[in-house]
Structure 1
Amino acid sequence: MHVTSGPYAPPVAARELSAISSDGSRLHVEVHGPEGAPAVVLAHGWTCSTAFWAAQIRELARDHRVVAYDQRGHGRSPAPVGPAGYSVGALVDDLEAVLATALEPGERAVLVGHSMGGMTLMAAAGRPKVSEHAAAVLLCSTGTVRLAALSKVIPLKEGKLRTRLTRGLLHSRAPLGPVTPLARRILKYATMGPGSSREKVDACTRIVHACPRVVRQGWGRVLAALDIEANLKHLTVPTAVIAGTEDRMTPPDAARAIVAALPHCEGFTELPGIGHMTPVEAPDLVTAQIRQLVAAHVAVTRTEVKERA
């Protein structure tokens, strides 16, 4: 289903691991790049997979150790059994398991989250097992609360009707069908900027359509009820935020609210003309921001780890 060639084709991992979450759920984890290099951990968003990070992995793995994992039910991570497996707490538990599996004790990394992946990082703020490994954080195209009310995917004025229809979309398990020209147009309108190339739209459409509809619905219900705004005060590590000005799913106002609440904001970048899929739509800019955070925060932390050892 994924793109098989070009910059958006998933690169082959140097190693594949399995992380076991607190409830026994298995998570597919990939490690790219040289051992001993500064570490970056990538958490993808709703209906996506490790394939979403193909451009970042391909570039960063030259001189970083890149850890990417499939959120439960996505990609090669099995779906939860029953509705109890879908919760914000499960996302955080899964992140803890991935960090413990892929990183050495005390090793710090830049944690990067897109959309639901960013929500995972914010929900995990203050968890000791996550704080142990978080040197800095990058949040891409994400939000904390009132996602159904803020979303502009439904082309109506803000209000109860738009919120109700958006919540219905998040709760839906209707099949998305094959990847057709119409499917690409719909996906582009809902999630990407108007200038996105056919290659980028095709990559995102294939990734999203590969997500099982029961998984899409399960996590959509979690997102519709999300409220993790209070967690931001615990996200004390340096944190940068990226948002696209044309993001209909988590509009820039959601990012601005995060920036205003962060104890240590490292910077806020609004990308003109870019939609919700920032790592695919603006891969070089997102990768450059990751590199900056690694250069500023990981090297020092790795020295401290060695000194403690």
Structure 2
Amino acid sequence: MTQPQKGICAEPNLHCLYLLYNVVDDDVASMRQKLVHILDVFETFDDEHYEAMVSGVVGIGGAFWDELYPHARPANLSSFPDMQCDDRCAPVLPCDLFIQIRADRLDICQAIGIEVSKLLKLHTELVEQVQAFRYLDGRDWTGFVLADDNPRGRQKFDISLVNKDDAYFEGGSYIHIQRYRHDMDKWSHLSEKNQQLVMGKTKQHNMDVLGSGLDSHAFRTKLVGPKGEFPILLNQSMPYGDMTTQGLYFVSCSSHPNAFKNYLFSRIYGDGNGHYDKLLDYSNAETGAVFFAPSITFMRANVNIAQNESEGVS
């Protein structure tokens, strides 16, 4: 039975550490082994600190995938979608590896991050590290509830994990990330009423705002898939920030990359009649990347193949 990575469908946590790496050497056999070792680190910390609800994700970028696993490639793994309309854009930050570490204890996130960095130190360069956290009762810096329409229960797995249509990669997930920076000064000058019109939701109770229009964030992100599925992706985003910068680290998991492409298109281009996501007037993406998080079953099976190859075993 295929075992997905635990962090794909894990319940929300209080803290998260995002790590992005580029691989700088050609020792791919060692990289396969060390990525599996990272899975072991996640499991060890989860066993030893069960109260922290530890989970993790290892994602592999399309440019590095063929070096790491040259014998097979996820059917729909491609580059990050290049979209721009007026001053709204989705910039790309090319990366080979994405590591997501989540827990209900900040110290545990940091300890795991240090272990991961030690494992990868000789083979990679760190591109970015971002510490994120739950803000208030699951809200963004804007004051509005995050990911209120996320799938739940069994639907969470159906939406976020590859199924038997790509059987070799069943249990994997297409992951898209974007780091958004909010213009909180500009946002704070809006009245609460106008903020609610931008979001399409009430701030206090997260109710739909009547008359918010076709350019509200709620409308532009409420999409239906080709088979009538809703929502179309699992939103694992969390706020990040300090005294000078506040933003949202957007992470989506889906069974097919078209889910995110359609989501992003609706926000940036809208309906072609000027109805785009008005939240983008107050929040700009600064990075963007796509990864595939293979199942634990796939990663463990293929590290053994790598060992056999290095020993000359057919």
Q: TM-score, normalised by structure 1?
A: 0.29
Q: Is the radius of gyration larger for structure 1 or structure 2?
A: 2
Between the two structures, name the one with larger relative contact order (CA 8 Å, sep ≥ 6). Answer: 2
> TM (normalized to structure 2)?
0.29
Normalized per residue, which structure has more helix? 1
Which structure is higher in strand share? Answer: 2
